[in-house]
A and B are shown apart, each in its own frame.
Chain A
Amino acid sequence: GAGVSQSPSNKVTEKGKDVELRCDPISGHTALYWYRQSLGQGLEFLIYFQGNSAPDKSGLPSDRFSAERTGGSVSTLTIQRTQQEDSAVYLCASSLVGRTDTQYFGPGTRLTVL
């Protein structure tokens, strides 16, 4: 079956512009996660959606970052007024409820802010 997909795979933008990253989770997975991996760093938790519950946004680094999940499926991560330190690979993952250990990751979006 189809795995987690993310688009675009690569995004180059200028400092100060807004970007939107998209994640299509595996059908039936109610849990969705966003992470980012900066150069030389581990995966950094950003946000967690579970069903209709309020998302855990505790990992978002600043108020320039926001995410939404429409209809319990597709999610978008928006970064406003991008900065060079936002350059990273942004990974989305999904899982079944109660199986948060077995997260299925997408291939990521590589964001470069010039």
Chain B
Amino acid sequence: DQQVKQNSPSLSVQEGRISILNCDYTNSMFDYFLWYKKYPAEGPTFLISISSIKDKNEDGRFTVFLNKSAKHLSLHIVPSQPGDSAVYFCAASRTTTSGTYKYIFGTGTRLKVLA
């Protein structure tokens, strides 16, 4: 039973346009969400995060939107660049007395930005 789902395995976007990557989750107790980016033969790297007390977080060209009622988050990349071509993972966690560390990751979306 996948608690974090990325239903689009791949996405192609023209350079300069907006890339929108989507992620759905099932556990309403999740309260912290992340996006990671992964290049081939490398480990994932942290991109951006959002807490459930917010509905938007922006960092440069990257914006994450959270819709708690729909249990949906999305990552917007504007403008998209060829160097953004990678696999993007969303992840979610529930804060417990031990902290927020047990992240459930989606299966990833492969983004290809076409020059």
Chain A residues within CB distance 8 Å of chain B: 4, 31, 33, 35, 40-45, 48, 50, 56, 58-59, 91, 93, 98, 100-108
Interface majority SS on A: helix, strand, loop or mixed?
loop
Instruction: For the complex formed, measure the closest distance between the CB of A34 and the CB atoms of chain B, giving whole angstroms.
Output: 12
Q: How would residues 27 to 59 of chain B score, 1 for a CB under 8 Å from any chain A CB and 0 otherwise?
A: 000001010100001111110010000000000
Q: How would residues 74 to 90 of chain B score, 1 for a CB under 8 Å from any chain A CB and 0 otherwise?
A: 00000000000000010
A40 and B107 contact, CB distance less than 8 A: yes
> Given the complex, which residues of B lie within 8 Å of A98, measured CB to CB?
99
Chain B residues within CB distance 8 Å of chain A: 2, 4, 6, 32, 34, 36, 41-46, 49, 89, 91, 93, 98-108
B105 and A102 contact, CB distance less than 8 A: no
Instruction: For the complex formed, measure the closest distance between the CB of A84 and the CB atoms of chain B, giving whole angstroms.
Output: 21
A4 and B107 contact, CB distance less than 8 A: no
B32 and A42 contact, CB distance less than 8 A: no
- The residue on B at minimum CB distance from A9 is B41
B100 and A42 contact, CB distance less than 8 A: no
- The residue on A at minimum CB distance from B38 is A105
Q: In whole angstroms, what is the CA distance A93 to B91 when docked?
A: 15
B43 and A93 contact, CB distance less than 8 A: yes
Return 28 A-B CB contacts under 8 Å, by A number: A4-B43, A31-B101, A33-B101, A40-B107, A41-B107, A42-B2, A42-B105, A42-B108, A43-B91, A43-B103, A44-B105, A45-B105, A50-B99, A56-B98, A56-B102, A58-B102, A91-B43, A91-B44, A100-B93, A100-B99, A100-B101, A101-B32, A104-B43, A104-B46, A105-B36, A105-B45, A107-B41, A107-B42
